[in-house]
Structure 1
Amino acid sequence: MRLIKQFGIILAVTFIGELLHYIIPLPIPASIYGLVLMLIALKSRLIPLHKVKDAGSFLLEIMPMMFIPATVGLMVSWNSLRSILFPVLIITFITTIVVMAVTGCITQLIIRLEKRNSK
């Protein structure tokens, strides 16, 4: 029963993200709205972590299975992708490096700000 309540909370936040996506005319995916809302709710302690922790852990454990449909889709469209494979690999490599660098810089900035605020 506890897991059902936790999934309900996660689904409610996701639904609110979907509503925001429908209302706000920005090219931002609804899932991003939901993630930002969940982050705000957790950081502000509107939703205590223990209210969603078990369901979140379960979702993280089954995440690899969620990539199976995308992988099958790539296998099905392999003939179309073969001609552009090299550019796709280069773009993927470059964007991965950029995302890692930006994430690292933002994380360091947040850590510095938290240390400065705690003093």
Structure 2
Amino acid sequence: MALKLKAITWQLCVLSLISFTGDSIVQWFHLPLPGSVLGIAILFALLSLGIVKAAQLQMVTGFLLKHMAFFFIPITVGLMNYWDFFCVNGIGLFGSMAVSLLIAFLVFRITGPKEKKGE
């Protein structure tokens, strides 16, 4: 149990450090994007280059994915403060989300695992 807790703590520290690095770079260079997005790009680069292996982060990422809905509750409740904004700009926001979803789907389809004909 102690070894598992140590592994989860280490993995969470690695993800936090990557996120902090993304936030810091955005602040230092005044980049027009969220630090979390840059952090995800850094994590993607580290995974692609093989510097960090997906298996090395598997315990904490599995936990975070399993409990992802819990992390969105405060955001959803906070959105109620901006109900008027969503009433006015809802169609534009929905359109941009639909386009983003389509782009993400196409990128995954192009770069994702290929299906074999027998499967």
Q: TM-score, normalised by structure 1?
A: 0.77
Question: What amino acid maps onto 1:81 in structure 2?
Answer: W
2:71 & 2:15 partners in 1: Cα distance? 17
1:56 & 1:22 partners in 2: Cα distance? 26
Question: What amino acid maps onto 2:50 in structure 1?
Answer: R
2:33 & 2:61 partners in 1: Cα distance? 23
Structure 1 stretches lacking a partner, 5+ long = 115-119
What corresponds to 1:106 in structure 2?
A: 107
1:48 aligns with 2:53: yes
Q: TM-score, normalised by structure 2?
A: 0.77
Q: Which has the higher contact order (CA 8 A, sep 6+)?
A: 1
Q: 2:83 aligns with which of 78, 81, 84?
A: 81
Structure 2 stretches lacking a partner, 5+ long = 1-5, 115-119
- Give runs of ≥4 in structure 1 deviating > 2 Å: 80-84, 104-111
Deviations 1:25-56 (A, max 9, x none): 22011001100000000111101111111101
Percent sequence identity is 22
**How many residues align structurally?**
108
Question: What amino acid maps onto 1:94 in structure 2?
Answer: G
- RMSD over aligned CA atoms reads 2.2
